[in-house]
Amino acid sequence: MLRIAQTLHSQLLAAMERAFPEAAAQAEAAGKPLDPQLAAASKPEFGDFQANGALPLAKPLGQAPRQIAAAIVEQLAADPGFAELCEAPQIAGPGFINLTLRPELLAAEVEARLGDPRLGVPKIGAGDDGGAGTPVIVDFSSPNIAKEMHVGHLRSTIIGDSLARVLEFRGHPVLRLNHVGDWGTQFGMLITHLKQVAPQVLETADAVDLGDLVAFYRQAKQRFDGDEAFQTTSREEVVKLQGGDPISRKAWQLLCDQSRREFQTIYDRLDIRLSERGESFYNPYLEAVVTGLDASGLLVVDEGARCVFLEGVSGKDGNPLPVIVQKTDGGFNYATTDLAAIRYRFGAAPGGDGARRVIYVTDSGQANHFAGVFQVARRAGWIPADGRLEHVPFGLVQGEDGKKLKTRSGDTVRLKDLLDEAVERSKADLCRRLQEEERSEDEAFIEQVATTVGLAAVKYADLSQNRNTNYQFSFDRMLALQGNTAPYLLYAVVRIAGIARKGGDMRAASAALHFSEPQEWALVRELLKLDAVIAEVEEELLPNRLCSYLFELSQMFNRFYDQVPVLKAEEPSRSSRLALCSLTADTLKLGLGLLGIATLERM
Query: Which one of 1.10.10.1590, 3.10.20.90, 3.40.50.620, 1.10.1040.10 gives the CATH number of domain 282-394?
Result: 3.40.50.620
pLDDT in tens, 497-529: 999 888 767 665 556 899 999 999 999 999 999
pLDDT of 569 reads 92
Report helix, strand or coil for 79.
coil
Residue 78 has pLDDT above 90, yes or no: no
pLDDT of 415 reads 95
H/E stretch holding 362 reads strand 357-363
Q: What Å distances lie between residue 53 and 62, 84, 88, 241, 547, CA to CA?
A: 14, 22, 18, 65, 31
- Domain boundary assignment for the chain: 2-101, 185-271, 282-394, 421-594
The CATH class for the domain spanning 421-594 reads: mainly alpha
Q: Is the peptide bond before 572 cis (omega within 30 degrees of 0)?
A: yes
Please give the Cα distance from 546 to 568 (Å, whole number): 33
pLDDT of 412 reads 82
pLDDT of 9 reads 57
- Residue 25 confidence class, pLDDT cut points 50, 70, 90: low
Please give the Cα distance from 464 to 440 (Å, whole number): 33
pLDDT in tens, 224-261: 999 999 999 998 888 888 788 888 888 888 889 888 99
Buried-exposed string 161-198: b where 16+ CB fall within 10 A, e elsewhere: bbbbbbbbbbbbebbbbbbbbbbbebbbbbbbbbbeee
Please state the separation of Cα 367 from the chain's center in Å.
17
Q: Which CATH architecture has domain 2-101?
A: 2-Layer Sandwich (3.30)
Secondary structure of 429-492 as H, E, C letters: HHHHHHHHCCCCCCHHHHHHHHHHHHHHHHHHHHHCCCCCCCEECCHHHHCCCCCCCHHHHHHH
Strand 471-472 to strand 397-398: parallel, antiparallel, or no bridges (unpaired)? parallel
49 forms bridges with which residues in the sheet? 40, 99
**What is the CA angle 457-460-463, rounded to 5?**
150
Please give the Cα distance from 386 to 403 (Å, whole number): 41
Do 202 and 254 form a contact (C-beta atoms < 8 A)?
yes
Which ranges in 176-245 belong to alpha helices (H)?
Answer: 185-197, 210-226, 228-242
pLDDT in tens, 130-188: 455 789 999 999 999 888 899 889 999 999 999 999 999 999 999 999 999 998 888 88
Please give the Cα distance from 271 to 596 (Å, whole number): 7
- The pTM for the full model equals 0.91
pLDDT in tens, 306-336: 999 999 998 888 889 999 999 888 888 899 9
